[in-house]
Amino acid sequence: MKTTTFKGRDFLSETDFTKEEIETVLDVATELKRDRAMGKYHDDLLRTKTLFMIFYNQSLRTRNSFEAGMTQLGGHAHYLDPGKIYTPALEGKEVAYSTERVSDVARVLDRMGDAIAIRCYGDPVDWEYGGAHNLLLEFARWADIPVLNMEDDVYHPFQGLADVLTVKEKFGGFKGVNFTMSWAYSPSVHKPRAVPQSAILYASMLGMNVTLAHPEGMELDPQVVSKCEEYAQAAGGAFKVSNDFEDSIANAHVVYPKAWCPTVMFKAPVGEDDPKKSMDIFNQNKSWKCTRELMETADRNAIYLHCLPADRGYEVTNEVMDKTSGSGWQSAIFDEAENRLHVQKAVMSLVM
Ligand code: CP
């Protein structure tokens, strides 16, 4: 385990930490997970500490894993609904007596607690790609305490950590693991790109053989793709993009199909601010659904991952989601969801 200084640092994207630091986080998460199973709780690690959580969007896993994690470490997580406080807003987006400038909110919370965690994407920033990430960067600029990204419009770094911890647990490491991140059909186009972008960044950084699969029009951020290529080269893994769903799953060890919105969904200049055109592209690709037959073509010991919530019957069939025992390939979605708790406890312990 590399010893390094995490204390006081923000965690807004996977690129904030080096590969060695990510490996340290995974080691700490494993240790906390094992200790808890053995009845050792570490409930003094964040005693008296407060995490402020600002959710512009809905959540089940993120909210509850951060809250439970803070409780288990002896601290407290405080839930803030932007509709019930003065909505934190960037300069130029303010509304009198309804919003409060981010720089002021950040400096107030900084005087009272020990970290600020934020979720923001999509409607709250009018689908301006990168608008939510900029909001988080502004919080980080003004707060001296750590700012944590609970999913914005570019990255979902804690989800990605849980994903790779699950891979490590199932395969013992990352070398030689064929990791397929694929788009899948959903009846909703209101889905950010953060999960697939974080997943491929970590998978490339850690040296897996990564395939990103999607229909045309569903491309991810070119800067993220180019960072993946750089990571893959440095780590001795591989990275490729495919438009062939079936081919991307054949022989994969990790099968991770989920929906994300097409580029046209975003406001100009990135996209066309066009939900109808987005839905048309989605509807042309309904066959991108993960089925048992497709999973049978993956590696015999493959795992199916999904960040959840999944659109059952659209992105994936029930029999794939629910195959969590028996021989052959497995769904590992509940291990993956549980691992949110352990990786977040690890990061909070290190930076707070
Ligand atoms: N995977 C994930 O972030 O789930 P929630 O939207 O429920 O937080």
Q: What is the DSSP letter of 86?
A: P
CA distances from 2 to 24, 27, 163 (A): 6, 10, 21
CA 199 – ligand 1 centroid, Å: 14
CA 91 – ligand 1 centroid, Å: 29
Tokens of 53: 């959580």
Q: What is the pLDDT of residue 4?
A: 66
Q: What is the pLDDT of residue 343?
A: 98
Would you call 12 helix, strand, or coil by DSSP? coil
Q: Which domains does the chain have, with CATH numbers?
A: 4-154+341-351 (3.40.50.1370), 159-338 (3.40.50.1370)
**Mutational test site, ligand 1, from 308, 333, 340, max ligand atoms within 8 Å of CB:** 308
State the number of CA atoms in the 13 A half-sphere of 25 facing the CB: 33
CA 63 – ligand 1 centroid, Å: 8
Name the residue at shortest CA distance from atom 3 of ligand 1: 62
Q: What is the pLDDT of residue 3?
A: 52
**Mutational test site, ligand 1, from 307, 333, 334, max ligand atoms within 8 Å of CB:** 307
CA 119 – ligand 1 centroid, Å: 10
For the CA of 62, the closest atom of ligand 1 is 8
For the CA of 308, the closest atom of ligand 1 is 1
**Residues facing residue 316 across a β-bridge:** 290, 312
Residue 258 CB–ligand 1 contact under 6 Å: no
Residue 159 CB–ligand 1 contact under 6 Å: yes
**Mutational test site, ligand 1, from 53, 54, 55, 61, max ligand atoms within 8 Å of CB:** 61
Tokens 């100009």 belong to 268
Helical spans, DSSP H, in 236-323? 245-249, 275-283, 292-295, 318-321
Q: Taking the C-alpha atoms of 65, 20, 177 and 323 in order, what is their torsion angle to the nearest 10 degrees?
A: -10
Residue 61 CB–ligand 1 contact under 6 Å: yes
Residue 68 CB–ligand 1 contact under 6 Å: no
Tokens 């109808």 belong to 276
Tokens 């066309």 belong to 272
Q: What is the pLDDT of residue 52?
A: 98
Cβ atoms 231, 190 nearer than 8 A = no
Cβ atoms 302, 253 nearer than 8 A = yes
Tell me, yes or no, if the pTM score tops 0.95: yes
Tokens of 208: 């897996």
For the CA of 150, the closest atom of ligand 1 is 3
Residue from 156, 119, 180, 158 nearest 305 by CA: 180
For the CA of 337, the closest atom of ligand 1 is 1
pLDDT in tens, the chain (352 residues): 445 699 999 999 999 999 999 999 999 999 999 999 999 999 999 999 999 999 999 999 999 999 999 999 999 999 999 999 999 999 999 999 999 999 999 999 999 999 999 999 999 999 999 999 999 999 999 999 999 999 999 999 999 999 999 999 999 999 999 999 999 999 999 999 999 999 999 999 999 999 999 999 999 999 999 999 999 999 999 999 999 999 999 999 999 999 999 999 999 999 999 999 999 999 999 999 999 999 999 999 999 999 999 999 999 999 999 999 999 999 999 999 999 999 999 999 999 9
Would you call 145 helix, strand, or coil by DSSP? coil
CA 159 – ligand 1 centroid, Å: 8
DSSP string, 42-73: -TTTTTT-EEEEEESS--SHHHHHHHHHHHHT
Tokens 């060695």 belong to 20
CA 266 – ligand 1 centroid, Å: 21
DSSP string, 183-245: E---S-----SHHHHHHHHHHHHTT-EEEEE--TT----HHHHHHHHHHHHHHT-EEEEES-H
CA 96 – ligand 1 centroid, Å: 32
The CA distance from 85 to 80, in Å, is 7
State the number of CA atoms in the 13 A half-sphere of 145 facing the CB: 20
Residue 344 CB–ligand 1 contact under 6 Å: no
Q: What is the pLDDT of residue 2?
A: 47
Residue range 264-276, pLDDT digits in tens: 999 999 999 999 9
